[in-house]
Amino acid sequence: MKKWWIRKAKSWEEAQEQDDEYYRLSSPEQRLSDIQFCREMYFKLKGININEVRKGLRRFFKVTEQK
């Protein structure tokens, strides 16, 4: 179960700074988890079956070598 935190901001700029700080301090795994959570909520709100959406996704991998 996800924990919800609420932080109040006095302006949109302050809210943006808080968002930036949250994502800057989050691990890459947590950021991906947040994105997946948002996708699932979007599909749920739109009444889209997520299993149907996944059928159409391309599965393509490209292996690259870093220098």
Q: Which residue did the predictor score with more confidence, 43 or 52?
A: 43
Cβ atoms within 10 Å, residue 34: 14
Q: What is the extent of the structural domain holding 24?
A: 12-54
Q: Which residue did the predictor score with more confidence, 28 or 60?
A: 28
Q: Is residue 16 one of the residues assigned to a domain?
A: yes
Q: Is residue 48 one of the residues assigned to a domain?
A: yes
CB 23 within 8 A of CB 31: yes
Q: What is the mean pLDDT of residues 15-28?
A: 92
pTM: 0.54
Q: Structurally, how many domains does the chain consist of?
A: 1
pLDDT tens-digit profile of 36-50? 889 889 988 988 887
Q: Is residue 31 one of the residues assigned to a domain?
A: yes
